[in-house]
Structure 1
Amino acid sequence: MNWFQRKIYLYNVTFGLYMLDWWERCLFNILVVVLMWFVFYNGFRYFAEFCRRY
């Protein structure tokens, strides 16, 4: 197992994804990606506005 495979395994075990079907795992990962995009996008917008004020 290399470093990347170990991180994927740890992610699957931590969130219990190993017991889901492939399509359920895919839906969960899509949801995680969308939520992370939302957080980073709005965080960047807030940080840019914060820097523009000061």
Structure 2
Amino acid sequence: MDGVMFFPHDIAYVVKQFAHSQPFFLALFLNISYMDFRITFFVINCNKKN
């Protein structure tokens, strides 16, 4: 459970590091995460119809 609780803080730390040094990779990471969300949502909608 400690790992689960720490995870959001770890993400925040990584985001801060990227925001200062690698804005391109940060944008790429957010874009990939957004696409994963879109694909997951699309799959869920397809499964509901069948």
Structure-2-length-normalised TM-score = 0.65
- Say yes or no: does 1:17 pair with 2:8: no
Which of 1 and 2 has higher RCO (CA within 8 Å, sep 6+)?
Answer: 2
Q: Which has the larger radius of gyration?
A: 1
- Between structures 1 and 2, the one with greater helix share: 2
Extract unaligned runs of 5+ from structure 1. Answer: 1-9, 50-54
* Residues matched between the structures, number: 38
Q: TM-score of the superposition, structure 1-length normalised?
A: 0.61
Q: Note the residue ranges of structure 2 that are not aligned, 5 or more in a row.
A: 1-8
Cα distance per residue 1:1-54 (max 9 Å; x no partner): xxxxxxxxx7x616x2110111111000010011000100011000111xxxxx
